[in-house]
Amino acid sequence: MTRPSRQHADRRKSPVMGKRILVTGGAGFLGSHLCEKLLARGHEVICLDNFYTGRKKNIVHLLDNPYFELMRHDVTFPLYVEVEEIYNLACPASPIHYQFDPVQTTKTSVHGAINMLGLAKRTKAKIFQASTSEVYGDPEIHPQPEEYRGAVNPIGPRACYDEGKRCAETLFFDYYRQHKVNIRVARIFNTFGPRMLPNDGRVVSNFIVQALTGQDITIYGDGKQTRSFCYVDDLIDGIIALMDAPDTVTGPINLGNPTEFTMLELAQKIIELTDTKSKLVFRPLPQDDPMQRQPDISKAKEILRWQPTVQLEEGLKKTIAYFDKELSKATP
C-alpha cells in the first residue's frame, strides 16, 4: 500500500508551478503524451503506472524534470497522495491486451474507478475518466451521439473492457450525484500516433508494422467496416479542454475525429505512404467487432470549442516515421 510521502503531505501545490496532477496509466500511449503536455503547461505531474502495457521508455525523457514524478502502482489498490486533479487513463485499451486477462481488465476499470474517485473525494480533486467509444458496442445509430445508450454484448469476449468502462461511467456519475465529486467523462474514439505498441493489435499499428516489415496486411472481414481515426495530439488537446471546462460540464463528451474510413481505405493509404509491396489478406471478423464507428462531436465543438485539425495522411506519416525508427532499432 502506497502511503503519502512527506513531500506530498506538506504541500498540495508547488510554489513555482501550477497544479499537482495525477495521471494514472501515465506511461502508456495516451498517458505519456498527456504527461508531456501538462508539464509544458506548467504543472507538477505524478505519473502512475503498473507497466502492464505502459513502457518506461515512453516517459524516460521526462525523468530528469524536477516537476515529474514516476510511481509504480496498480490502481486496483488504494492510493494516498495529495493532488488537485486526476486523469484516470489506467486500463489496457487494445483487444489483445485487455482480453489476455479479462478479469483483471474489469477490475482495473471498476476497482480503479472506485479508488480514484475515493481519492478525488478525499482531496476534493477534479477527476477525468478516459471512457471509450466501446460503450456504444456495435452501434445501431450512426454516427454515435452521447445520448445513444449502445448495443453491447455483456457476456462476449470484449465485455471485460466494454462493460468495465460502462460501469466506470456509472460510478463517476454516482459519485458526482452522491458525493458532489467534480467529474469529467470523455468517450474516446480510435486514436493513433507515436508510442503505440507495435503488437497491440490495433488496426493502425498492425497495418503499419506489417507494411514496414514487408508482410501481407491482414484485414478482418471484408474490409468495409469503418473507423474514425484521431491523431494523438488532437485527442490530448480535447482531453485538457474538457478538464478546463466549467464545473457544470461533466460529460460524457465524445472525443474523436468524425472523418470516417473503411479498413480497405486505411490499408491502401498505408501501402501508398510506405511504398510497400504488401498484399491484402482477409481473415474472419472477430466476434462483436463493430461494423461502424464514427463520433458525433457536436457537443465537443459547441461546449469545448474543440475539433481535430490533423488529417489522417499527416498523422499517418508521423506514425509511420515513428515505427520505422523503432523497427530499425530492433533490427541487429
Is it the case that residue 64 has pLDDT exceeding 80? Answer: yes
Residue 5: pLDDT above 50? Answer: no
Look at 19-23, 235-239, 256-260, 281-285 and tell me which has the smallest mean pLDDT. 281-285
Q: List the chain domain ranges.
A: 6-191+232-258+294-309
Matching residue, cell 478479469: 103
pLDDT for residue 11: 38
Asked whether 323 and 209 are in contact (CB, 8 A), the reply is yes
- Cα distance between residue 245 and residue 211, in whole Å: 41
Q: How much is the mean pLDDT over the chain?
A: 92
For residue 332, pLDDT beyond 80: no
CA distance 181 to 230: 29
Residue of 135, 162, 143 whose CA lies nearest to 294? 143
Of the pLDDT bands very low, low, confident and very high (cuts 50, 70, 90), residue 8 is very low
Give the residue numbers marked as catalytic. Answer: 161
Q: What is the average per-residue pLDDT within 255-273?
A: 96
Helix axes 263-274, 203-212, angle to 10 degrees: 30
First to last CA, the chain: 41
Contact status, residue 131 vs residue 165, Cβ threshold 8 Å: yes
Residue 326, pLDDT > 90, answer yes
For the segment 92-107, what is each residue's pLDDT rounded down to a tens digit? Answer: 876 777 788 899 999 9
Model confidence pLDDT, tens digit, residues 119-174: 999 999 999 999 999 999 989 999 999 999 999 999 999 999 999 999 999 999 99
**pLDDT value, residue 289:** 77
* pTM, full prediction: 0.91
> What residues are paired with 94 via a beta bridge?
none
For residue 286, the model assigns a pLDDT of: 82
The CATH architecture one would assign to domain 6-191+232-258+294-309 is 3-Layer(aba) Sandwich (3.40)
What is the predicted pLDDT for the residue at 12?
Answer: 41
pLDDT tops 80 at residue 302: yes
- Per-residue confidence (pLDDT) for residue 157, from 0 to 100: 92
Mean pLDDT of 223-236: 95
Which residue matches cell numbers 493489435? Answer: 201
b/e string for 1-27 if b means 16 or more Cβ within 10 A?
eeeeeeebeeebeeeeebbbbbbbbbb
Question: Span 65-84, mean pLDDT?
Answer: 97
Q: How confident is residue 254, by pLDDT bands cut at 50, 70 and 90?
A: very high
Cα 129 from Cα 89, distance rounded (Å): 7
3-class DSSP string for 2-68: ECCCHHHHHCCCCCCCCCEEEEECCCCHHHHHHHHHHHHCCCEEEEEECCCCCCHHHCHHHCCCCCE
Amino acid at residue number 201:
G
Q: What is the pLDDT of residue 98?
A: 77
Distance in angstroms (rounded) separating the CA atoms of residues 145 and 161 = 20
